[in-house]
Structures are given as C-alpha cells and as structure tokens.
Amino acid sequence: MEHTVTLNDGVKIPQIGFGTFQIANDGSTYKAVKEALDLGYRHIDTAAAYFNEEEVGRAIKDSGLAREEIFVTSKLWLQDYGFEKASAGLDTSLRKLGLDYIDLYLLHQPYGEVAEAWRALEQGKAQGKVRSIGVSNMTVKIWQSFVPHFKTQPSVNQIEYNPYCLQKEIRKLMAQTHTTLEGWGPLGRGMGTLLHDPVIDKIAKAHDKTCAQVILRFEIQDGAIVFPKSSNLQRMKSNLEIFDFALTKEEMDAIYTLDQGHGTHDPDTPGVAQFLLDNFDVHAND
C-alpha cells in the first residue's frame, strides 16, 4: 500500500492496517485476514494474546502475495517478560505465524520485567527476527519509568487513540524520540457516540463520506497509524476508501476540539497488570 510513514529506524509502515483483536481462531481470523489482503490491506496487526497468530500466518501464506509486500505486527504477552522468556516468546510468535521475520514486534503491556523483555526484543532485531520494535499502552508515567533507560528507542507506542482521546501529553514525550503513534480503537471502541458525533457527521455529509471514513481520514492526517477492525466485508472495504479526499484545516481543527482527554482504558490504574495476567493465559494450551 502506498500510504506509508517512516519509523525512527527507517522502516516504512503502511499507515492503515487491519486489526484482528477479538476475532476468533475458529477460521474467522483466517477468513477476515484473507479478505483484507484481497481488498488491498497490507498491514496486519495481531498478538500472542489474541490467540490467532496461526490463522493470520495461514492467511498470509495463502494470499499469493510476496512476504515483503505484507507488514506484520505481533506482540509479546506479559507472561513472557524477562529476557529468556521474551526470547522464547518471540520465537513462538514466529513459529505460529510461520514467518522468518516479523516486521514490528511490541511489548503488549508495560508492566513487570519490561527492561529485560525489551532487551530480548533488541536482540531479536539484531538477529533479523524483527525489523522494528515498539511498546504499547504506555502512559506518560510508565514511559518515564522505562524508556529513558532503553538502549534503543521504541519505533511505535500503540495506545488507545481517536478524536475523543487524542493522547496529547504522551505524544509530547514520543516526539522527543521520534516514536510514532499507533492507535487502537481508532473508531472509538466503547465510545459509541463517536460514530454519531454531530461535528463529524456534518463534515461527513460535506464530503459524501461516512463518519467512520472521516474519523480515519482525520487520524491519517494527524500522523497516526491505525488499524480498524471489522469482519464485515463492506465495512472493511469502506475503511480503506479514505485516500480520495482530504480534510481542510478548519475541519481538522473542529475535530481536534472533540478531545475529552481520556479513553476507555487507563493503564495507570492499580491492579491492571494482575487483571490481565489472570484473564489472558497464552500458555493455556502448551
């Protein structure tokens, strides 16, 4: 896909991708990813804790596309932090995906033995198992605890992001390391009103576009990488049709005013790490 941004390590990444969070590993992920690739998506986002890496890998293999045409992101789960466990976790993701390398590999949650897990990702990059490495769900407080001590700066921070949650403060820190924002929940997952916001609706009518298309276009123009998730073929197609129009400065400014300064998930909340460990066991079937 032509619309790429260049990360701080020089790697080019498609600015719009296809997200696979909460798509089941009962054939549904395989079908959705295969359809996404057929439609023109070239960036697929998965994770160990999505339990669908194998189906993502099979869809990539069966797509008929050359490996280098597809940008693949996966993420290491909290259970596998620490240097040895993280190294093994990366190898497990590679095996499940059936790939020789992963384009972008992230620390999925910023708790526990983050520094040692990061060192393992740095090693994985040096070994050619990963092209870029990054973090996810890092707030200002968490970022300041870990990132200044990293030898390699994260290429991305994948965080909740949409017009109601613009992440202004963490983005100031990320700018210092030229770390790119990847937005999960770009259409306001859990914020049902976003897709019906009157400001966005007015702009959508002016461009003969849907509210979802206007939101995604705003995010692209705001410099973010986004991967809307849908298993609905028509919506998957519609989410890609955002490069034939542009928002004016006035329209961008109008959407910027919608920021509420928070999202649906606060990684700084006490007990989040334990909750995640209690509810996602990536070794349940080992």
227 backbone φψ class: left, alpha, beta (φ>0; ψ -120 to 50):
beta
Residue 39: predicted pLDDT: 95
30 backbone φψ class: left, alpha, beta (φ>0; ψ -120 to 50):
alpha
Pick the closest to residue 82 from 112, 113, 53, 111 (CA basis): 113
Which domains can be identified in the chain, with CATH numbers? 12-273 (3.20.20.100)
pLDDT digits (tens, 9 = 90+) for 12-69: 999 999 999 999 999 999 999 999 999 999 999 999 999 999 999 999 999 999 999 9
Residue 231: predicted pLDDT: 84
Q: Tell me the C-alpha distance between 1 and 265, whole Å.
A: 31
Percent of the chain with pLDDT over 70: 98
Percent of the chain with pLDDT over 90: 94
Pick the closest to residue 80 from 126, 30, 116, 104 (CA basis): 116
CA 92 to chain centre: 20
Res. 112: pLDDT tops 90: yes
Q: Tell me the C-alpha distance between 191 and 19, whole Å.
A: 18
Q: Compute CA distances 213 → 182, 231, 244, 258, whole Å.
A: 17, 16, 11, 17
182 within 8 A of 224, measured Cβ to Cβ: yes
Q: Tell me the C-alpha distance between 29 and 17, whole Å.
A: 15
131 within 8 A of 11, measured Cβ to Cβ: yes
Beta-sheet pairing, 43-45 with 156-160: unpaired
Active site residue 50: yes
Place of tokens 């890998």: 57
Q: Tell me the C-alpha distance between 100 and 128, whole Å.
A: 9
Residue 1: predicted pLDDT: 46
Catalytic residue among 30, 41, 50, 161: 50
Q: Tell me the C-alpha distance between 15 and 73, whole Å.
A: 13
Mean pLDDT of the chain: 95
pLDDT digits (tens, 9 = 90+) for 115-146: 999 999 999 999 999 999 999 999 999 999 99
pLDDT digits (tens, 9 = 90+) for 165-223: 999 999 999 999 999 999 999 998 756 789 999 999 999 999 999 999 999 999 999 99
Q: Compute CA distances 66 → 12, 42, 61, 155, 255, whole Å.
A: 16, 11, 9, 24, 38
Mean per-residue pLDDT for 226-232?
89
pLDDT digits (tens, 9 = 90+) for 183-195: 999 998 756 789 9
Q: Tell me the C-alpha distance between 117 and 4, whole Å.
A: 28
Q: Which residues pair with 12 in a beta bridge?
A: 6
Residue 258: predicted pLDDT: 97
Res. 229: pLDDT tops 50: yes
Residue 2: predicted pLDDT: 63
